[in-house]
Copies of this chain bind each other. A is one copy, B any other.
């Protein structure tokens, strides 16, 4: 007999942005596995539910633990923030399946979508993702910085709106500065740049500035940075990208 594994995202933070499907999966679970602060967001449901909190940056280890529990017959939910498929735990779970016990391939595994950070950040300021856009993680824990630079350059040259995940951490204080520098060589100085901190929570905070004056020091681990396309604009207190998204002259 074997159990099941559901990978969920709690959304950006506020309980009202967690989907009912995710809440239902959480309520049914015998075991919750996740990074401590994400588990702390989840209201207690059943008294017999076990919580397995782990540190940040041990995604693969955490995924293997969750798969072992499911293989032992438990009903496991792996808890991410945001959407589990965007720079979060779903990919780590499938990496663990691919490299782990062959029996894990027959497990009942499911992913529940959620509201990822860039959607919550965009909603706070208007509609900056209104045209074509891309999402890039600035973390080079798992990929080469040269790859990140290549993608930033391509995104700027093709005039995408750019959402930057993981823009800064204590271990990586200079990468966002490097990214802004690279983008300034390609994009106009008056391109809107948004720093949205704690989007989708009661502490949400937004700063709208321009590429010419954007300072990396404004970002921390809870910040999502959005760099506009050539047509992204301010209108009153809002920022939006027309649906043409830079394609009309």
For the residues of A in contact with B, the DSSP-based class is: mixed
In the complex, what distance in Å separates the CA atom of A7 from the CA atom of B17? 15
In the complex, what distance in Å separates the CA atom of A54 from the CA atom of B209? 37
**A215 part of interface (Cβ distance < 8 Å):** no
Count chain A residues whose beta carbon lies closer than 8 angstroms to a beta carbon of B. 81
Interface string of A116-154 (1 = CB under 8 A from B): 100110111011111111111100101110011011011
Min CB gap A119→B, angstroms: 4
In the complex, what distance in Å separates the CA atom of A175 from the CA atom of B93? 35
State whether A240 touches B154 (Cβ < 8 A).
no
State whether B15 touches A95 (Cβ < 8 A).
no
Known: A90-B127, A127-B90, A134-B155. A119 touches B240 (CB 8 A): no
State whether B247 touches A143 (Cβ < 8 A).
yes
In the complex, what distance in Å separates the CA atom of A143 from the CA atom of B140? 34
Min CB gap A109→B, angstroms: 7
Q: Which residues from B are CB-within-8-Å of A135?
A: 132-134
Which among B90, B116, B200, B248 is the interface contact of A143 at CB below 8 angstroms? B248
Known: A19-B11, A111-B123. A235 touches B97 (CB 8 A): yes
Q: Which residues from B are CB-within-8-Å of A246?
A: 143, 147
> Could you say how many copies of this chain the assembly holds?
2
In the complex, what distance in Å separates the CA atom of A144 from the CA atom of B245? 10
In the complex, what distance in Å separates the CA atom of A241 from the CA atom of B242? 30
Q: Which residues from B are CB-within-8-Å of A90?
A: 122-123, 126-127, 130, 240
State whether B20 touches A119 (Cβ < 8 A).
no
State whether A127 touches B15 (Cβ < 8 A).
no
Q: Which residues from B are CB-within-8-Å of A136?
A: 132
In the complex, what distance in Å separates the CA atom of A128 from the CA atom of B83? 13
State whether A92 touches B154 (Cβ < 8 A).
no
State whether A144 touches B247 (Cβ < 8 A).
yes
Which among B12, B85, B157 is the interface contact of A154 at CB below 8 angstroms? B157
In the complex, what distance in Å separates the CA atom of A90 from the CA atom of B126? 7
State whether A119 touches B85 (Cβ < 8 A).
yes
Q: Which residues from B are CB-within-8-Å of A98?
A: 233, 235
Please name 18 pairs of A and B residues whose Cβ atoms are closer than 8 Å in the assembled complex, sorted by A. A17-B20, A18-B19, A84-B123, A85-B119, A85-B130, A86-B119, A98-B235, A109-B238, A113-B123, A132-B135, A132-B136, A134-B135, A134-B155, A137-B245, A142-B247, A147-B246, A151-B158, A153-B158
